[in-house]
Amino acid sequence: MSSSLVETVDMKAPVSLIWKLWSDVTRWPQFLTHVKRVDRIDERRFTWWLTLPGADKYFTAELTEVIPEERIAWKVIAGTQHAGVVTFHRLSDTTSRLTIQLEYEPDGLVEHLGALTNLDKTLANYDLGQFQRMAEDLAASS
């Protein structure tokens, strides 16, 4: 049984800034709480190291679409199966919207419970809040 997740956050930061932050995969551990490390393999592939309740995991993903300041899509090519897309929307010169969509196969009891109890949604909202704070702090200081 696959699960899906769609979350959106609006922020007081220009789309160019949120694109710059999100498109640098090595920065993900700064705002994605379960991501401990991201290692770039090449321009299109990278390995994520995750710490999840009850398990540490890693997987290799490949970028399937990159349209600067519009969208980044990926799929897993080795490890826990999932795919996702993040879209960037300019609301004004100083405000933006970021939407993340994930499709994944829960693996094991903890992930199945997370999908059933909406824990995955809660974690995604928390992480997007972390990203929003980082982007707004950077926008305010520039």
- pLDDT score at 117: 47
Question: What residues does 87 pair with on adjacent strands?
Answer: 71, 99
- pLDDT score at 33: 86
- pLDDT score at 115: 47
Summarised one tens digit per residue, pLDDT across range 82-113 is: 899 999 999 999 999 999 998 887 665 445 44
- pLDDT score at 51: 83
Global pTM reads 0.84
- pLDDT score at 116: 47
Summarised one tens digit per residue, pLDDT across range 6-23 is: 999 999 999 999 999 999
Summarised one tens digit per residue, pLDDT across range 36-78 is: 999 999 999 999 888 876 678 888 999 999 999 999 999 999 9
Look at residue 128 and tell me whether its pLDDT is greater than 50.
yes
**Three state DSSP letters for 101-112:** EEEECCCCHHHH
The CATH number that domain 3-141 falls under is: 3.30.530.20
- pLDDT score at 10: 98
